Amino acid sequence: MKEDRPNSAGESRSWFEKITQALTGEPRDRKELVELLRDSEQRNLLEADSLAMIEGVMQVSEMHVRDIMIPRSQMEVINQSLPPEEFLPAVIKSGHSRFPVIGENRDEIEGILLAKDLLGYFADGENAKFNIKDLMRTPIFIPESKRLNVLLKEFRSNRNHMAIVVDEYGGVAGLVTIEDVLEQIVGEIEDEYDIDEDTFIMKYSSDHFSVKALTPIEEFNEYFDASLNEDEFDTIGGLIMNSFGHLPSRGESVDIDGFHFTILRADKRRIHLLQLTIGAGREEKSSKVLNSNREH
């Protein structure tokens, strides 16, 4: 006797088919289309994640590179005149995989260096000869006005992951990566700095940490034996934003009570993730506390 089973073909229709059915009202413009899609989500014809991605795709077609680029002042760059021993600490600290290589200033972009291309040099040891020009990739230059959907198509076709953004006068305005574009569609993409959902603070070395902006100040103070003000704000993100006096962008930094905070991830509404570097005096104090915690 065969067991009765639901008709999988009928019950597992793709969200695209459900949208098609929901659009029988023939929306006259984009606003009505969005309203229909959101109504479909409310009636469980469309999943919330799918709706968010569709809206992200529609938004990307209207956005320009200038809307999401990393500004020139916040670019992590490598000077081509420096030996690898001098720029490697900055490469490790940033955690990025690609770096613009500059000449005398940030308007002279000579190429793009991939962090993984340095492995061969360090694997060869003391006998290795280093010439950064042998490792550099050709940089791609794009205008600030380029639409994100066009840029994404170009990234996919030419297999580049980073482009240098130039202004109307030919000067370097910033840079943009394929991850920056994709995050406008699918939301945040996890990277090497992401922390488990139940963890607020991730330790990388004795003076280098990643800290979620939602970390309660009380928990932060307990972890580092600190005394950051808990009266006005509940989270580290709130305290940081107050210190800036505005919503900071990725790469901006601020010092508070011996702690150096750098924004790793933020959007137009709030801060998400911070990089924390501890000063010398504070590092010694925190080290004692962490060692004491491990003993107990």
- Residue 20, pLDDT score: 58
Mean pLDDT on 29-37: 75
Does 10 score more than 50 pLDDT? no
The answer to whether 98 and 162 have CB atoms below 8 angstroms apart is: yes
Q: Which of 70, 83, 255 is nearest to 163 (CA)?
A: 70
Per-residue confidence band for 232, with pLDDT thresholds at 50, 70 and 90: confident
Q: Looking at per-residue confidence, does 155 or 231 come out higher?
A: 155
Q: Which of 274, 263, 288 is nearest to 70 (CA)?
A: 263
Q: Where do the domains of the chain lie, and which CATH numbers do they carry? A: 14-60 (no CATH), 67-186 (3.10.580.10), 201-295 (3.30.465.10)
- Residue 282, pLDDT score: 58
Q: For 197-226, how does the pLDDT look when each residue is reduced to its tens digit (9 = 90+)?
A: 567 898 877 888 889 888 999 999 999 999
Per-residue confidence band for 161, with pLDDT thresholds at 50, 70 and 90: very high
Averaged pLDDT of the chain? 79
Q: For 110-155, how does the pLDDT look when each residue is reduced to its tens digit (9 = 90+)?
A: 999 998 888 877 776 666 678 888 889 999 999 999 999 999 999 9
- Residue 5, pLDDT score: 47
Per-residue confidence band for 288, with pLDDT thresholds at 50, 70 and 90: very low
- Residue 122, pLDDT score: 72
Percent of the chain with pLDDT over 70: 78
Per-residue confidence band for 103, with pLDDT thresholds at 50, 70 and 90: very high
Does 180 score more than 80 pLDDT? yes
Predicted model pTM = 0.55
Percent of the chain with pLDDT over 90: 27
Q: Identify any residues that bridge with 98 across adjacent strands, giving them in sequence order.
A: 114
Q: For 240-287, how does the pLDDT look when each residue is reduced to its tens digit (9 = 90+)?
A: 998 998 888 877 889 998 899 988 877 766 788 888 988 765 554 544
CA triplet 45, 48, 53: central angle to 5 degrees? Answer: 110
Mean pLDDT on 47-67: 79
